[in-house]
Structure 1
């Protein structure tokens, strides 16, 4: 069983920063970065949970919803990784989250 505490904490930190970012920053790319990450996390969860199913793309629900989308996707993936992965896989995803937050400037 992999420990996903660091992953959920990194996702929550990024989501909290998105929630408190001014609208102008969200519109300049921070929200797009968050949505791209949420979509990647959701895709990874889908591949692990149902590898033979065509992936579904998370919709763009707007700049003010992206933090919630990120948390949902991150928690879904963490739940799957907790039982079906190694620490290295979790570390890789934590790195994705941190790099996306840095690119977003948050």
Structure 2
């Protein structure tokens, strides 16, 4: 998918995919371990997925929808879906949204590492 996107959108999807893959492979003990400001790593990534979803829907002129808490084992997939949706929504003419989302993904990656 990233080969069809502008460079900034491709960077976002690559960062999202790396973090999502890490969470898909993470053992339950690490998923559920607390990190600063969050009751668990999974909760931190769910919050990120919700922010990305809100941003993407906002760019599309759509109202926010709650990303549900589907459990710790689903957050990698939720992150991938919302991150890719945002990258597509922002790819044409929203470099500031892409940069902000990439910063958010990288910050969450460091927090949950």
Q: TM-score, normalised by structure 2?
A: 0.83
Aligned to 2:26: 21
The residue correspondences of 1:58-97 to structure 2 (distance < 5 A) are 58-86=67-95, 88-97=96-105
- SS of corresponding position for 1:65: helix
Secondary structure, counterpart of 2:110 in structure 1? helix
Any gaps of 5 or more consecutive residues in structure 1? none
Number of residues paired by the alignment? 102
1:61-101, CA deviations, whole angstroms, 9 ceiling, x for partnerless residues? 00011100000000000001111312x43222111001011
Q: What secondary structure does 1:56 align onto? A: coil
Matches within 5 A, 1:46-57: 46-51=57-62, 53=63, 55-57=64-66
Is 1:39 the counterpart of 2:47? The answer is no
Structure 1 CA distance for aligned equivalents of residues 18 and 103 of structure 2: 13
User: Which 4+ stretches in 1 moved above 6 angstroms?
Assistant: none
RMSD after superposition: 1.5
Distance in 1 separating the partners of 2:59 and 2:47: 19
Deviations 1:28-73 (A, max 9, x none): 111111101000000001111125x3x2110000001110000000
Give TM-score, length-normalised by structure 1. Answer: 0.88
- The structural deviation recorded for 1:2 is 4.7
Structure 2: tracts of 5 or more residues without a match: 34-39
3-state DSSP of counterpart to 1:83 = coil
Distance 1:50 1:90 in 2: 16
